[in-house]
Structure 1
Amino acid sequence: MKNIDYTMYYVTDEDLLSSNHTLETSVQDAILGGCTMIQLREKHSSTLDFYNKAVKIKAICDKYNIPLIINDRIDVALAINADGVHLGQDDMPLDIARKIMGDGKIIGISTSTLDEALIAQQGGADYVGVGAMYSTNTKTDANLTTINELTKIKNNLKIPVVAIGGINLDTIPTLKPAQIDGVAIVSAISMQEDTVSATRKLKNTFLKQYQTKGVIFDIDGTLLETMNIWDNVLLNLMNTLNISYTEYEIQKIWNMGFAELAQFSIKKFKLDMSVKEFWQLIKKLSVEEYKNSKIHLKKGAKKTA
């Protein structure tokens, strides 16, 4: 959907806050410590109380440009224009939630098995939260998910996978085999007096699982600023074929390969062309766009000769 960093996903629980923190200071300090995403989950709040809290947390998240997800409450998410919602298996159906929220919002789904995760992906979820991985005080009724099941889910899904449930400094290293996209953390952040330091340690511990041994990249979009070119190629493609993708579809397209895009488009618009012909058209449009565009180095890239 969007370019979202799921690395360090803080899920709030006001009942578990350290005595030196309010909900607002806890969220702000978590962000300062490196948190990349916030989920407001307050199960025992009235609608008005939840709304008032959400307004305050939204202001903090907007200040630091951090996505805010609302747990369960689609009404509250819409009321404050949150970035999205997170839904459980017993919450509103995903397809209905998407109609209400719109294509531009993030919808995450709680899953514990590969089957649930595949259904969520097929239904249009933007990410899945998998767990509980370990026993936790915040989800006393949760069945535990094995590392093997988590690995299967990650290997079979194209959308981001986030582990949740009992995630802390001791359990993060056990998740390494799954090579997941991030961890959702509750008490290991909320209960800490020094939230900034605690979050930083958690994030560094997670990132150590992915220490870089080498780098392989191409210059397109890495050293060269070319995203505007590909935006134009997509626009020219739509004009040439007289088709139109929705905003949600365009966001999904950037995660597709050319063959997948071709198959998706041919089926959706009932195009009278083969995958090869579709690819040749994209190639032709992209060559023309590169020839007629002035390309700059990305910020931070420098010429060496």
Structure 2
Amino acid sequence: MKFTSTDTYVATDDLTVAVNAAVTLERPLLVKGEPGTGKTELARQVAQSLDLPMIEWHIKSTTRAQQGLYEYDAVSRLRDSQLGEERVHDVKNYIRKGKLWQAFEAENKVVLLIDEIDKADIEFPNDLLQELDKMEFHVYETDETIRAKVRPIVIITSNNEKELPDAFLRRCFFHYIRFPDMETMKKIVEVHHPGLKDALLTTALTQFYELRETAGLKKKPSTSEVLDWLKLLLAEDLTAEDLKRDGANALPKLHGALLKNEQDVHLFERLAFMARGQR
């Protein structure tokens, strides 16, 4: 069971090694990297590459660890008891299974994605330590222990918005997805926009990397944004010549696909103004 790049996802050698190491060690794979570098998509591609079902748990700021295990609906049970419902006598009717429970009870191996764990409360990772380590948890309402029939492949993503606890990190295999270099990006683009003319691709990516490296940029454009930008360039039938900029305009064509806030747009407008003043 070895993960490799797929027809729709370019995995670097170090990322492939990290995924396969986590699978071999049966440890959760913690993947960090800036937004838009394909962390969530990685889990889907691992499932596709290994031909495994996938269970996705997308974390929000209000998500509690207990929700991943199960939730007991005491309110519904109270209401049903007042109405004389027969189902009220079996507490299992009011237990809602969480994503971890679903993964643990699967008859065959699955990929479990815990997406953007750093969005939750700081205690969230600690609250899942034992469950992810021992692959079991206790349901107090029914006095039963749920154990994983087959240990799932767990992939956890983080945008690095907050530090994760050391005790949690010790239980994971860690990988940081670096932003792709020019050659890797060309391979990624070829997957999404095959047959793109080399002159257009080189000019566009050169502008893209120059934009990313501009000092003072608040939000650097990501892989997903450059793919959107290239899609627009193709839709407008622009050529490498069309992309050329003069000193009067530092903003790239269709820059709204790359720059996502007014501060960064104003930064490039100031750069253009300064360039005109030096001519």
Name the TM-score, length of structure 1 as normaliser.
Answer: 0.26
Larger RCO (CA within 8 A; separation ≥ 6) = 2
- Please identify the structure whose Cα radius of gyration is greater: 2
Name the TM-score, length of structure 2 as normaliser.
Answer: 0.27
